[in-house]
């Protein structure tokens, strides 16, 4: 995540370059700048960032070709600006979109900095089926560079063999625990009764923790003795930090491999893990309900995701921060690897096709640490919903930061959840953003419609009006609100997300495509 000062420093560096590059484009860009052209630049800059091994590419609005700061009036309305993420995702390969869209004030001028991820290894990114690239400052077809990207072989840090490591470098308790969890997950397999008879090497191979008996980075990460870090790097650890009510670091602890066991040690370290709060949502309930602030499964799931998705090539620590105001923050290095948070929450059929550390992810799945179908994120959201607590917050950028909030400061939010037990997660998503003061854009409303149709199977215009009208901008007239809903439905229909199964355009019946 970049602060505004970070972004100003980056912009200073960019405008100090002698010219634009394959991974940088400046535009004056007025409010009518074509979304289709932005998509073309996204594809080109994304592909070039991959080939030039850049962490990001940049499309900057409000700077002219001479690198003069001129400002831009492109999509001044914040929700409309942020909705561009969804529009780009709808037209790109694998729905890739901006890491972030940043607005900053630079020398009194409004600047927009579109932070663009590099194309994934081996996967060129297209816009509406066409692949774009750059020759210096010129936009054009990707051409022969397409094959360069397609021929890339993904480097999997987690599958690297450590030649000098042996079984002696592994923790015996971690091996026994991994074998137990592996057995629990394979009760219906033919080999279930043989698991206890396997020697250690056979077990490690079967659990995909080793490769043909050879110790891997994954083996050491999950099962290695603390000293086994000598085969890896010094910063390979999980660090816990406690921040007191004065904003001071009051306590900390480092956790080295074996991560399979150290997860539970970190869980025990949390100062507020057994804390409860009392819920008295309305006058009808005389006896307060006591609820645990934290769910152990949620904490372990968040930590397991950090372990599975950390970009270990950056040699950073995984950091877990506990704050006295009942917040837990989990941070791992590396951008969010695939899709968007909303994809995992609202699209039940959404399963990531690949992982940053595929060998590690498979091993963790086999010993019961994670699932590999992407359902964990949605389950974390549902766990918070069940406790009437605010939904988790993600901050995405060069790292992924997840905040679990365990304080129910908003009585209105809590009451709405408690008094409407069957409230759709999509509607709760809107209520949560509202009570936190976060902007709600068209993309959010579209996800809510999709979630609603999953639940109801089909719905008429009045059903969707009833769903969304209470959550639209209160300054809009009823007619303008209804027009906005019509536009949302039209956009979803145009992108083949929903389908009108009625022959009538005046009284449509919508269902998922």
**The pLDDT of residue 285 is above 60:** no
Mean pLDDT of the chain: 90
* 459-498 residue pLDDT tens: 888 889 988 888 888 888 999 999 999 899 888 888 788 8
Chain-centroid distance, C-alpha 68 = 35
Pair 56, 115: CB distance under 8 Å? yes
Q: Which residue has the higher pLDDT, 443 or 192?
A: 192
pLDDT in tens, 394-434: 988 778 999 999 987 767 788 888 888 788 788 888 889 88
pLDDT band at 281 (very low <50, low <70, confident <90, very high): low
pTM: 0.76
pLDDT band at 1 (very low <50, low <70, confident <90, very high): low
Which residues, in sequence order, are bridge partners of residue 107? Answer: none
Top-confidence range, 196-205, 270-279, 441-450:
196-205
Q: What's the number of CA atoms in the CB half-sphere (13 Å) around residue 317?
A: 14
Q: 447 — phi, psi (to 5°)?
A: -65, -35
Q: Which pLDDT band holds residue 242 (cuts at 50, 70, 90)?
A: very high
- From residue 120, alpha-carbon distances to 47, 115, 339, 399 in Å are 9, 15, 12, 16
Which whole number is the average pLDDT over 228-241? 94
Helix pair 461-468, 442-456: axis angle to 10 deg: 130
Q: How many residues does the chain have?
A: 513
Q: Which fold has domain 439-512?
A: Arc Repressor Mutant, subunit A (1.10.10)
Domain ranges of the chain: 4-150, 439-512
Q: Report the pLDDT averaged over residues 137-155.
A: 89
Q: Tens digits of per-residue pLDDT, 65-92?
A: 899 999 999 999 988 998 899 899 888 9
Give the separation between CA 189 and CA 248, rounded to whole angstroms: 51
* pLDDT tens-place string over residues 291-328: 899 999 999 999 999 999 999 988 999 999 999 999 99
Which of these, 348, 377, 349, 373, lies nearest to 361 by C-alpha position?
373
Dihedrals phi, psi of 296, to nearest 5 degrees: -55, -35
List Cβ neighbours of 188 (8 Å cut-off, separation of 6 or more): none
pLDDT band at 36 (very low <50, low <70, confident <90, very high): very high
Q: What's the CATH code, domain 4-150? A: 3.30.950.30
pLDDT band at 283 (very low <50, low <70, confident <90, very high): low
Query: Which residues are CB-contacts of 183 (< 8 A; sequence separation ≥ 6)?
Result: 192, 195, 196
Distance of CA 142 to the CA centre of its chain: 28
What strands, in cross-sheet order, belong to the sheet with 57-61? 24-27, 57-61, 109-116, 100-106
């Amino acid at each position: 995540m970049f602060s505004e000062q970070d972004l100003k420093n980056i912009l200073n560096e960019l405008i100090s370059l002698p010219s634009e590059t394959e991974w940088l484009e400046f535009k004056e860009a007025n409010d009518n700048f074509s979304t289709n052209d932005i998509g073309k630049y996204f594809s080109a800059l994304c592909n070039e960032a991959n080939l030039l091994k850049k962490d990001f590419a940049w499309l900057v609005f409000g700077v002219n070709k001479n690198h003069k700061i001129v400002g831009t009036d492109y999509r001044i309305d914040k929700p409309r600006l942020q909705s561009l993420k969804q529009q780009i995702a709808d037209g790109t390969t694998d729905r890739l979109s901006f890491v972030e869209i940043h607005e900053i004030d630079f020398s009194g001028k409004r600047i927009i900095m579109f932070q663009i991820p590099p194309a994934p290894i081996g996967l060129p990114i297209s816009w509406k089926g066409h692949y774009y690239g750059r020759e210096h400052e010129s936009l054009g077809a990707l051409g022969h560079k397409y094959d360069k990207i397609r021929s890339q072989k993904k480097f999997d840090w987690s599958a690297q063999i450590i030649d000098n490591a042996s079984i002696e470098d592994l923790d015996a308790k971690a091996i026994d625990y991994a074998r137990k969890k592996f057995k629990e997950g394979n009760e219906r397999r033919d080999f279930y009764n043989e698991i206890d008879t396997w020697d250690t090497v056979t077990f490690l191979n079967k659990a995909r923790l080793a490769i043909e008996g050879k110790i891997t980075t994954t083996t050491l990460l999950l099962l290695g003795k603390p000293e086994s870090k000598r085969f890896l790097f010094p910063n390979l650890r999980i660090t816990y930090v406690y921040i007191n009510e004065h904003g001071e670091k009051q306590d900390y602890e480092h956790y080295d491999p074996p991560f399979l066991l150290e997860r539970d040690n970190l869980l025990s370290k949390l100062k507020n893990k057994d804390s409860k709060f009392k819920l008295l949502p309305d006058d009808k309930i005389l006896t307060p309900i006591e609820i645990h602030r934290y769910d152990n499964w949620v904490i372990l799931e968040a930590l397991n995701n950090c372990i599975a998705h950390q970009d270990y090539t950056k040699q950073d620590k995984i950091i877990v921060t506990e704050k006295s105001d009942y917040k837990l923050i989990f941070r791992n290095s590396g951008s969010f690897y695939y899709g968007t948070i909303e994809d995992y929450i609202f699209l039940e059929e959404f399963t990531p096709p690949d992982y940053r550390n595929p060998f590690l992810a498979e091993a963790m799945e086999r010993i019961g640490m994670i699932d590999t179908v992407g359902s964990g994120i949605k389950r974390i959201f549902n766990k918070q919903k069940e406790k009437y607590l605010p939904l988790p917050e993600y901050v995405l950028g060069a790292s992924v930061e997840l905040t679990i909030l365990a304080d129910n400061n908003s009585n209105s939010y809590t009451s709405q959840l408690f008094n409407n037990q069957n409230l759709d997660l999509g509607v709760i998503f809107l209520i949560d953003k509202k009570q936190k003061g976060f902007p709600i854009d068209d993309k959010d409303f579209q996800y809510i419609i999709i979630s609603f149709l999953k639940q109801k199977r089909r719905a008429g215009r009045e059903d969707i009006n009833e769903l969304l009208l209470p959550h639209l901008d209160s300054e809009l007239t009823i007619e303008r609100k209804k027009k906005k809903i019509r536009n949302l439905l039209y956009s979803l229909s145009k992108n083949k997300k929903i389908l009108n199964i009625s022959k009538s355009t005046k009284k449509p019946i919508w269902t998922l495509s």
